[in-house]
């Protein structure tokens, strides 16, 4: 059992709804089962994909809802995004049964959030569970052991089941199945997406352009679709925890890039499966992309889990001076460059424009400090 950062007993509270977001297959249900196995309270676990559950929780029938949970101290709805009007149903339960503990999980944030936010204002706590984080594996392995497996992580990281599979071909088969059967299930089920192939083409395009700045106009031109459709698709991909974007940092100086974004994948195994690229690192020409994606996303997991809030960006000028990653926190700027090797040169324009900002190079030897929170 790989320990996760969250222990749900620290977050559940009678009369409140704990909403647990996260991609499919990252361990939300396992986390739930670990919680209920360690409680003496009587619980009821249902699936939002059940028609009976959808009809019941999607209604405003207080009597039936009360009968449905009678005798239980804990009520859990897995895949709650499939239940129409789920927020109103859960609101009735927690309002009328203040001693009831309610947990709802969802593999997509957009649909579940739309149904829950307004009805449950002031009555919920939200957590997001991502694929495995280095800060979680740090509880099991020492720095030497983690660094010894670093190349493997850059290729197959970081779904829990992938970490337990020993054979490489089995890891590849699992990731391909994940991409083909689960990756876009929520988007295609819950949203009206007419061309799933275009959605996959967009993902593959972004997979090849990790670490590069791209504009929606460029993506639209490459795919032969309009900009509004690209914006909508990117929004859906972010809300289903497949990709994450950074915008350019600027103090409105004319030399700085602001209108482009950089996109990263929450999981490198998914990224590599999309482009069918599982070669070992010495045979690849994208090590820099993998390393930057790995560092940015592991840092984002750390910031999310520890509630260490910061605004995050990249920085580049039109003369191609750039810094990979920027954090703005408590009125201060922290700049980071990601190098698989140790070499790096501080951009001259950056030193002139932001002389008080700190600057660090993150490489294979010091990355654990950065992604586990001591830097």
pLDDT at 62: 87
Query: What is the Cα–Cα distance from 175 to 171, expressed in whole angstroms?
Result: 6
Of 155, 130, 174, 134, give the one whose Cα is nearest residue 269: 155
Longest dimension (CA), the chain: 69
Q: Would you kindly state where each structural domain of the chain is located, as residue ranges?
A: 8-128, 134-372
Alpha helices (H) in 286-334, listed in sequence order: 287-306
pLDDT at 104: 92
φ, ψ of residue 305 to 5 degrees: the values are -65, -40
| Collapsed DSSP state (helix, strand, coil) of residue 122 | coil
Strand partners of residue 246: 262
Query: What is the Cα–Cα distance from 82 to 186, expressed in whole angstroms?
Result: 9
Query: What is the Cα–Cα distance from 363 to 375, expressed in whole angstroms?
Result: 13
Strand partners of residue 315: 323
By the 10 Å C-beta count (0-12 exposed, 13-18 middle, 19+ buried), 133 is classed as buried
**Dihedral over alpha carbons 236, 297, 164, 20 (to 10 degrees):** -50
What the block records as the tokens of 265 is 């994948």
Of 147, 241, 258, give the one whose Cα is nearest residue 187: 241
pLDDT at 82: 86
Query: What is the Cα–Cα distance from 156 to 183, expressed in whole angstroms?
Result: 16
Give me the residues of the chain with pLDDT under 50, please: 375
pLDDT at 375: 47
Query: What is the Cα–Cα distance from 20 to 126, expressed in whole angstroms?
Result: 6
Q: Which CATH architecture has domain 8-128?
A: 3-Layer(aba) Sandwich (3.40)
pLDDT at 135: 95
Beta strands in the chain (DSSP E): 17-21, 43-47, 74-78, 101-106, 124-128, 213-214, 243-248, 261-265, 311-316, 322-329, 332-338, 358-362
Q: Which CATH architecture has domain 134-372?
A: Orthogonal Bundle (1.10)
Determine how many CB atoms are found less than 10 A away from the CB of residue 166: 6
């Amino acid at each position: 059992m790989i320990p996760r950062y969250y222990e749900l007993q620290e977050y559940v509270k009678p009369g409140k709804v704990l909403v647990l977001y996260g991609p499919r297959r990252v361990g939300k249900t396992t986390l739930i089962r670990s919680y209920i196995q360690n409680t003496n309270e009587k619980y009821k676990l249902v699936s939002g994909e059940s028609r009976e559950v959808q009809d019941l929780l999607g209604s405003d029938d207080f009597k039936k809802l009360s009968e449905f949970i009678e005798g239980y101290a804990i009520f859990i709805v897995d895949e709650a995004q499939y239940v129409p009007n789920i927020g109103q149903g859960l609101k009735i339960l927690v309002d009328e049964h203040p001693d009831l503990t309610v947990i709802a999980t969802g593999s997509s944030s957009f649909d579940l959030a739309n149904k829950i936010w307004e009805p449950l204002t002031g009555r919920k706590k939200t957590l997001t569970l991502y694929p495995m984080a280095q800060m979680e594996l740090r509880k099991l392995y020492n720095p030497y052991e983690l660094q010894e497996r670093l190349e493997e992580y850059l290729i197959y990281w970081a779904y829990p089941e992938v970490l337990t599979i020993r054979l490489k071909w089995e890891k590849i088969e699992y990731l391909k199945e994940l991409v083909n059967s689960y990756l876009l299930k929520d988007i295609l089920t819950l949203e009206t997406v007419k061309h799933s192939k275009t959605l996959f083409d967009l993902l593959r395009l972004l997979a090849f352009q990790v670490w590069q700045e791209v504009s929606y106009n460029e993506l639209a031109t490459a795919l032969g679709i309009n900009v509004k459709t690209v914006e909508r698709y990117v929004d859906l991909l972010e809300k289903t925890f497949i990709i994450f974007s950074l915008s350019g940092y600027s103090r409105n100086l004319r030399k700085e890039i602001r209108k482009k974004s950089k996109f990263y994948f929450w999981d490198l195994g998914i990224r590599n499966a999309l482009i069918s690229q599982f070669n070992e690192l010495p045979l690849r020409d994208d090590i820099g992309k993998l390393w930057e994606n790995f560092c940015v996303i592991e840092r984002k997991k750390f910031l999310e889990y520890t509630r260490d809030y910061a605004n995050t960006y990249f920085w580049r000028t039109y003369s191609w001076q750039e810094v990979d990653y920027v954090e703005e926190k408590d009125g201060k700027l922290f700049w980071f460059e990601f190098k698989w090797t140790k070499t790096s040169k501080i951009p001259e324009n950056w030193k002139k424009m932001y002389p008080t900002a700190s600057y660090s190079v993150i490489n294979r030897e010091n990355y654990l400090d950065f992604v586990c929170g001591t830097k």
